[in-house]
Structure 1
Amino acid sequence: MSFTVLIPARLASTRLPNKPLADIGGVPMVVRVAQRAIKSGAVRAVVAADSTEIIEQCRAFGVSAVLTRTDHPSGSDRLAQACDLLGLDDAELVVNVQGDEPLIDPALIDAVAHLLEQRPDCAMSTAAHAIDQLADWLNPNVVKVVLDAHRTALYFSRSPIPAARDFAGQAWWKTGSTLPPPLRHVGIYGYRVGFLRQFPKLPQAPLEQLEALEQLRALWHGHRIAVHITEQAPGLGVDTPEDLARVRQLLV
C-alpha cells in the first residue's frame, strides 16, 4: 500500500508561540516530527504550513512543505487544501500527524494507515491505548473512546467512559472486572482523501461543539472510524513550555 503523511503547522499558539519552530537540539520541532514520519512506510511526509517562515525552515532541512491559507478554521481544512495542492486522488490514503509530536512512533503511523486500508467500511482510522490510572480516566483533557466488537469507534468523550454503574468515580477495571480497561484516544488520524475533502464541508455536530472534539462530526454524520489499539502510550506531545523542556531533555 502507499500513503502520504500530512503534518499541519501554524504559527499561532496561545500557550507556546511559534510552536512549530521551537528549537529542539538545533532542529525546529515540526522538522523533528517530519523526520520521524519519514521513517514510517509513507511514500512522503509533507508539512502543511500557514507561513513562509515554516516553509523556509522545512526546506532548509530537506523536508517537503506546502503553503496553505492562514484562515483555515481547523486542521482538517488545512489538510484538505494540502491534498489539492499535492494533486492527491480521492482514493488515496493520508495520515494526519500533529506537528507537536516530535516523539511519534513511525510504527504507529504505519498501523493507522494499514488499518484504514483493511477497513473499506470506514472513512477514517485512529488509535487508542489502555488507561491504567484513575486520574487519567477522570481527566477531561484525556479523551476517551468506546469501541464496538469490530474495534470501530462508538463514541469519543472527555467524560470517563465507559462508566460502570456500581463503581462511579472508581477504577472499576481494577476491581476484578472481566471487561477490558477504558481506552485513551491518541490524536493521529488516517483519512481517505475523498472523505477528507468532504469533511470540512459537513455541518458541525452538536456533540462536537459540546465536547470540543472534531472527530464527533464524522460519527454524527454516519461515517465510521476504525481504531487501532496500541500497546504503548504515545510519545510526549508539546503543548506547554514545560512539555518542550522535557522533550529537549529526551532528544538533545
Structure 2
Amino acid sequence: MAPFTVLIPARLASTRLPNKPLAALGDAPMVVRVAQRALKSQARRTVVACDSPQILEACAAHGVEAILTRDDHASGSDRLAEACALLGLDGEDLVVNVQGDEPLIDPPLIDAVAGLLHAAPAASMSTAAHAIDSVDDLRNPNVVKVVCDTQGYALYFSRAPIPWWRDGNAGGVPSLPVAPAPLRHVGIYGYRAGFLRRFPGLPPAPIEQTEALEQLRAMWHGHRIAVHVTDHAPGPGVDTAQDLERVRQLF
C-alpha cells in the first residue's frame, strides 16, 4: 500500500443539522467517531480539517489530530486544498477525503480508494460506487449515479437514472436494467495532492452547476476519475436529525 493521508473536512455551519460534527455518538462527537474509523485504515496520518476552535478542542480531547482552516470556504474541497498546503502535501502525495458525517465508514474502503489511485497513474482522483438494487434509488435524485468505461474510469455522474435503459424505461423507470447494473456513487474521494491544491482554481463547469455535483468540474477540465466498485453499500451517513438518531442506535 502506498503511503496516504486521510483528511476529514468538518464545519459547524451545517444547514440541515447545525453543529453536526459535535453531535454526540455515545461518548464521543461524530467527527471523532469518523476519525477513529479512519485510523483503522492503513493511512499513515489522519487529520481533521475544521473551521472552528470547538471542533479543534473536541478532537484534541480524544487524541485526534486536527488543524484549523478558514471559516469562509465555499466547499469541502477548498478546505482540503488549504489543509494540503498547511500540511505540506503536494505533487503525487495521496490524500483520501473522508466526509465528516460518515461515522460508519469502512476502513478497507478507504484503503481501496487510496490503492486504486496509486495504481491508476492517468487519474487525478478516485472514488467508489456500488450496484443499485432498488428502483426507488435509481429514481431518487439524491442518489448520485455513475457510469464507468471498460477500464473503470468514470464517464459521467448524474442525479438522473443512468444508464438510461431505452426500452425498459419507456413507461418511466419500472424496473432495474439487467446490464450494465446501475451504480450508486459513494462520496469518498482520493486525490493527488497537487491536483487537489489546484482544483479550487478551476472555473466551475456548466454540467457541475446543472447537476450540483462538484466532481464534474474535474471531468469537464479533462481530469480522469477512477472508480472502485465495492460489493456492498457503506454504513449510513448523517445528513438530518432522523439520520443522527438512526446512527445513534448503532452506538
What TM-score bracket applies, with the shorter chain setting the length? over 0.9
- Matched with 2:216 is 216
- Matched with 2:83 is 82
AA paired with 1:171? S
Report whether the alignment pairs 1:144 with 2:141.
Answer: no
Shift of 1:36: 0.1
- Matched with 2:186 is 186
Q: Retained in 1: the 8 A contact 2:133–2:176?
A: no
Shift of 1:180: 2.7
In structure 1, how many angstroms separate the alpha carbons of the residues matched to 2:212 and 2:40? Answer: 32
In structure 1, how many angstroms separate the alpha carbons of the residues matched to 2:175 and 2:208? Answer: 27
In structure 1, how many angstroms separate the alpha carbons of the residues matched to 2:219 and 2:210? Answer: 14
* Structure 1 vs Structure 2 CA RMSD: 0.7
Report whether the alignment pairs 1:112 with 2:113.
Answer: yes
Shift of 1:40: 0.2
Give the fraction of aligned pairs with identical amino acids, expressed as a percent.
Answer: 71
In structure 2, how many angstroms separate the alpha carbons of the residues matched to 1:164 and 1:235? Answer: 29
**Number of residue-to-residue matches in the alignment:** 247
**Partner deviation per Cα, 1:33-65 (whole Å, 9 max, x = no partner):** 000000000001100000000000001000000
In structure 2, how many angstroms separate the alpha carbons of the residues matched to 1:36 and 1:180? Answer: 32
In structure 1, how many angstroms separate the alpha carbons of the residues matched to 2:151 and 2:216? Answer: 18
Give structure 1 stretches of 5+ with no counterpart.
none
In structure 1, how many angstroms separate the alpha carbons of the residues matched to 2:14 and 2:84? Answer: 24
SS of the aligned residue for 2:122 comes to: coil
- Matched with 2:201 is 201
- Matched with 1:162 is 163
- Matched with 1:249 is 249
AA paired with 2:29? P
User: Which runs of structure 1 show a deviation greater than 6 angstroms over 4 or more consecutive aligned residues?
Assistant: none
Give structure 2 stretches of 5+ with no counterpart.
none
AA paired with 2:206? P
AA paired with 1:191? Y
TM-score, normalised relative to structure 1: 0.97
Shift of 1:109: 0.1
**Partner deviation per Cα, 1:41-96 (whole Å, 9 max, x = no partner):** 00011000000000000010000000000111110010000011111132200000
Shift of 1:15: 1.1
AA paired with 1:224? R
